[in-house]
Amino acid sequence: MNESNQTIAVKKNATVKHLIIIAAAILALALIVILPSPSGLSMQGKNTIGLAVFFLILLIGRPVPLPVACMMLIAAMPFVSMVQAPDGGKPEIVGALAGFSNSVLYFTIASFALSYAFVSVPLSNRILKFLLVRFAKSTKSLLLSMMVTGAIVSALISNIPGVALFIALSKNILKTIPDENDKKRLGRALMIGVIYADTIGGMATPAGSSLNMLAIGLLQGATGITITFAQWMIVCLPLSLILLPIAWIVILKIHKPVELSREKLEECARAIEVPKKMAMNELAFVIIFSVTLVLWILSSWIPMLDVTMIAIISACICFLPGLNILSGKNFEDFAKWDVFFVQGTALSLGFAMINGGADKWFADLFLYALPPLSPMLLVGICAIFVFFMLLLIPIAPAMISIFAVQFISLAAAQTISPVPLIFVLALCTANCYFLPLDSVPILGLETGYFSVPEMMKSSAILQAVIVAMLAVWIPFICRLIGVM
């Protein structure tokens, strides 16, 4: 068989495989729709769970591009989950698009712009070269320096563009390694390390992840309780500082990156060229981002300062003529539409599950039967529950949308403030990488340096550590700062 015939055969096999995946998704949805509803679950709620299974199969199998999979779900949602027009008429598409009106999506896009601006000016390479020269004396220190820097950056900008930035920087380092086996082993550790570090760093501040903003917004909308920027940092920054070195050790023990010589690392550093002095565009971005960070922190005390609007305005300033930071043609480069569509669709699916009562049904099964518990035990059980549910719905925005109200109700039933449980929900869903299908781990998975089973090995350990840390820390610190 010549090369042309082999290519045709490969394409034909891929087509058959993709059609089978689509058929399996449709069959699973049809079976769930046909089956009777379990006790306590409405037909709409049951059908919405079917939609979640349908979407999950498409996300795992990838038979079509992610935006197409999202549009398939949006098109099916009004009919399958019985989203009706207010007058009881034909199914409406508005409810299926509800997630796309959420400010979180636009915070993410603005964060991508700030991240791309960070890469467009020499600042990112300047930082990377400094780290390689001063701290990267071995593979272990290289990995640690990349993770520390990634965590710091992702605490300041959303972790989705943050992980995209450090994946790009990691690829630049890997280009200097000629041996493919060495490149694969180091690449696996770097990519998984970047995912963990950016996720952990994103926990530290409200601006570090769109999930943090979503959880804060849902809590305020349901209860009127506001978690300020400063309060979030007091609770979550210590967790990030402790969890980051633990993640580094886990990666070294589980993934065993190849050891590079000091000379090789010095060669990597020399390959990164940066100007000695800051140009006007780099200096302008430093000023813009410094002001952005100050305003984010001040939003804790000045209600008119909205974190999302600050991010959007800062991103727009980077496009101003004369600054030479970003231009119109850059938009297609940094706007990750896969992430935009997945987040919006996941939020719409979450709203549909709430409307259908699926969230309450899951909570009734696992949480509402609990007797009165100590805050420590309650936090630990809720953390385990979130990680378990992420196996069924491995999309963080959907998880927060679905269970925020239920966690607030659970807190009322246990006669405690909902704030600790909202922290647990936000922080556990952020660490959604056992099945790496959420926005942050997907970016790393697509590099091809690691597989899902390989990441599972270290993720299971890290999530167990997170459960223990949250159970001990969250009740203590929330009580100390008066939000419990």
Q: What's residue 409's pLDDT?
A: 86
- 23 and 73 fall within a common domain: yes
- 75 and 149 fall within a common domain: no
- 28 and 175 fall within a common domain: no
424-473 pLDDT, tens digit per residue, is: 999 999 998 887 777 788 778 878 898 888 999 999 999 999 999 999 99
- 148 and 255 fall within a common domain: yes
Domain-embedded: residue 29: yes
Domain-embedded: residue 43: yes
- 154 and 75 fall within a common domain: no
State the number of CA atoms in the 13 A half-sphere of 416 facing the CB.
24
Q: Which of 92, 113, 148 is the last residue of a domain?
A: 92
- 147 and 266 fall within a common domain: yes
Higher pLDDT, 323 or 99: 323
Average pLDDT over all residues of the chain: 84
Residue reference for tokens 């969250």:
474
- 272 and 321 fall within a common domain: yes
CA distance 326 to 117: 6
Q: What's residue 85's pLDDT?
A: 46
3-state secondary structure of 370: coil
Domain-embedded: residue 382: no
Quick check: 11 pLDDT over 50? yes
Q: Which of 73, 92, 111 is the last residue of a domain?
A: 92
Domain-embedded: residue 69: yes
Quick check: 384 pLDDT over 80? yes
> What percent helix, strand, coil does the chain show, rounded to 5?
75, 0, 25
Q: Which of 58, 92, 126 is the last residue of a domain?
A: 92
- 256 and 191 fall within a common domain: yes
Residue 113: which of 277, 316, 284 has the closest Cα?
Answer: 316
Measured CA to CA in angstroms, residue 240 lies from 58, 478, 480 at distances of 33, 16, 19
Look up residue 212 and give its amino acid: N
- 163 and 265 fall within a common domain: yes
Residue 381: which of 366, 359, 396, 364 has the closest Cα?
Answer: 366
153-182 pLDDT, tens digit per residue, is: 888 777 776 787 788 778 877 877 777 888
Look up residue 19 and give its amino acid: L
Residue 390: which of 297, 460, 325 has the closest Cα?
Answer: 460
Question: Which stretches of 311-371 are assigned E, i.e. beta strand?
Answer: none
Residue 133: partners with Cβ closer than 8 Å, 6 or more residues away:
266, 269
Q: What's residue 154's pLDDT?
A: 84
Q: How many structural domains compose the chain?
A: 2
64-115 pLDDT, tens digit per residue, is: 888 898 899 888 888 776 544 445 555 556 567 777 887 777 877 887 788 7
Domain range enclosing 30:
19-92
